[in-house]
Amino acid sequence: MDFVLTQLSGFAGAFTDLALDPLTYAYLIVSVFLGITFGALPGLTATLAVTILTGFFGNKIPLDYSLIALLGAYVGAIYGGSYPAILLNIPGTAASAATAMDGHPLAKAGRGGEALGLTTTASFIGTLIGTIALLVFVWLLLLLSKNIASPEKALLALFGILLSGTLMSEDLVIKGWIAGLIGLAMAMVGLDPLLSEPRYTFGWSYLLSGFQVVPVLMGAFAVPQIIEGMRHMNAGQVIQPMGRILPNMAAIRRYMPTIARSGVIGTGVGALPGVGEDVAGWVSYGVGKSVSKEGSKFGKGSLEGLLSSETANNACIGGALIPLLVLGIPGSPPAAALMGAFKINNIIPGPTIDPEIILRVVAIMVLASFTMFIMGLFTARVFIRILRLPQVVFLPIVMVLTTIGSFSVGGGINDLYLMLGVGFAAYFMNLLKIPIAPLVIGVILGGLFDETFRRSLLISGGDLSVFALRPVAAILLGLNVALVLSQVPVVKRTYMKLSGRTG
């Protein structure tokens, strides 16, 4: 009970501080608006919104405002993707792909206004569910994580990279692992963290400090998007929503169990390292379809289907922040961009993070969700107009934003060369269906893995059993081994045979 009261009073203090500061609202309104705009424009993503704003706000304003700007954009962008999904049948972000399944049929049936009202409410409730889970679980996990040392950290970092590689691969799982390894390899460039030994610098002094996170993020997420999006496209016909965009409270009450279930699923999926809002939306949609009495109506304009995906993708945000804040492992690609912002502010997410920051993150999430809800209901027409903009108009501006954002973070012109190189490489990786998110997570966690792995060996005098004899390390090692073995064909076949025999 004491724990809950302490949590609530801490949250109330952080919330009051932020709510009484007028600048909070200025940053919230601008960032949520930008986030919804990024989400609503097909071709721009939530990850890109957070990445670009990291370049602008990451280390140029006080941390609180920086977090408001980035989290506001994150929440707004995930919600904003539902506009084109419903009105154009084109998901604005991958997170809204499942929303289009039922949202667009509803819009075609003249219920676009109702669908937008419901997605706004579902996104709002979903964000709050994720945020509550963040407030509760982050502390429980922080208490547990106090006991983890270098071996556990190294295995956790490896698990994060492997798991994101496994779950983010659209094609072969090894492609996700390859992406993670490329990211890890990139993190090896520069002076090594223990002996200051230069590695792969090729005599270029810029590389001594290693690859900077922001240009890598910009290159990995923005440049391929620009290359891919610069093509002639016939803009689809925007279906104008009839009537006012208001939440259908009767439907919300009726489907509250669905909303609650989707919120929990979204939060849980978000908590898995590297797995983003798109997976959360689809998993929740799939579960909803299989357990609902109206499952046969899914895909034909079902309100329950719409609520299942839209609640989950926003709930995923809070979930994705749990491993980021507790373990320093991003739970989704936008969370990886957010981690870049933490890094350039010299904040190391993980067991040693200042608890005040966590409380402020929770308070900002609550404020951002309210801002999103109000903007969604009262300024929806503005975002519907934005949908008509062709990609070839805004992508060049994104390139200029990316350039100036990446340049100003610190490394100057060399950061731009790095950004361009990573961008072209990421474009070809997209062609090969090698996922980009594990690469970015590898770059971010590579330094931590290198340092903690070697420190573990240093302390144990080179005894590898240090990774197996400590209880938590043994569990993590088991998870890593199981994850790899689960993808080996021989093991898969044996498992299938055994499970078939016992079943």
Partner 1 sequence: MDEDTEIMRARDFWGALVLMGLSLFFLWRTMDIPLWGGNRAGVSSAAWYNSAAIVPLGIFLALLALSITLLVISIRAGGAQRALTAVGIGWNTAEAVRFSAIGVILFFFIVGLVPRVDFVLSSGLLITALTFGFHQGLRHRMGLAAGAVAFCGSYALVMHLPQSEWAAHDDDWVTLIVWVALTVVMLRRAGGDRVLKAVPYIAVIAPLVLVSAMAFGFRQNVPNRGGLLFKQIEYHYYVTIRPIWRS
For the CB of residue 444, give the shortest distance to partner 1 in the complex, in Å. Answer: 15
Q: How far is the CB of 176 from partner 1 (least distance, A)?
A: 10
Shortest distance, position 71 Cβ to partner 1, whole Å: 19
Question: By C-beta, is 320 or 398 nearer to partner 1?
Answer: 398
User: Least distance in Å: CB of 486 to partner 1?
Assistant: 15
Q: At closest approach, how far in Å is the CB of 210 from partner 1? A: 13
Q: Which is nearer to partner 1, 313 or 402 (CB)?
A: 402
Quick count: other Cβ atoms within 10 Å of Cβ 246?
Answer: 14
Alpha helices in 146-221 (DSSP H): 150-168, 173-187, 213-217
Cβ closest to partner 1, residue 29 vs residue 185: 185
Q: Which is nearer to partner 1, 101 or 184 (CB)?
A: 184
243 phi-psi bin (left φ>0, alpha ψ -120 to 50, beta other): left
Nearer to partner 1, 81 or 447 (CB): 447
Least separation in angstroms between CB 153 and partner 1: 14
**Sequence-separated (6 or more) residues with CB below 8 Å from residue 408:** 55, 60
How far apart (Å, rounded) are the C-alpha atoms in residues 491 and 475? 20
Q: Which residue, 281, 288, 289, 293, is CA-closest to 261? A: 288
Please state the closest distance from residue 336 (CB atom) to partner 1, in A: 19
Q: Which residues of this protein are in contact with partner 1, per CB under 8 A? A: 56, 60-61, 171-172, 174-175, 177-178, 181-182, 184-185, 188, 192, 194-197, 199-200, 223, 226-227, 230-232, 390, 392-393, 395-397, 399-401, 403-404, 407-408, 412-413, 416-417, 419-420, 423-424, 428, 431-434, 449-450, 453-454, 457-458, 461-462
CB of 343 to partner 1, least distance (A): 18
Q: Long-range contacts of range 5-12, CB-CB < 8 Å, 24 or more positions apart?
A: 7/135, 7/136, 7/139, 10/355, 10/359, 11/135, 11/359, 11/362, 11/363
Least Cβ distance, residue 408 to partner 1 (angstroms): 4
Report d(CA 49, CA 319) in Å as an integer. Answer: 19
Of residues 118 and 218, the one with the C-beta less far from partner 1? 218
Q: Report the residue number, 21 or 228, with the smaller CB distance to partner 1.
A: 228
Nearest to 289 by CA among 297, 277, 278: 297
Q: What is the DSSP string of 221-281?
A: IIHHHHHHH-S--PPPPPPPPPS-----HHHHHHTHHHHHHHHHHHHHHHHSTT--HHHHH
Q: Which is nearer to partner 1, 322 or 401 (CB)?
A: 401
CA dihedral 185, 165, 354, 127 (to 10 degrees): 150
- Write out 285-315 in H/E/C secondary structure: HHHHHHHCCCHHHCCCCCHHHHHHHHHHHHH
Nearer Cβ to partner 1, position 2 or 197?
A: 197
Cα–Cα dist 178/376, whole Å: 40
Q: Select from 145, 142, 147 the least CA-distant residue to 3.
A: 142
Which pair of structure tokens corresponds to residue 192? 């090594």
**Cβ nearer to partner 1, comparing 381 with 388:** 388
**Among the listed residues 89, 93, 125, 120, the one whose alpha carbon sits nearest the alpha carbon of residue 301:** 89
Q: Minimum distance between the CB of residue 209 and partner 1, rounded to whole angstroms? A: 15
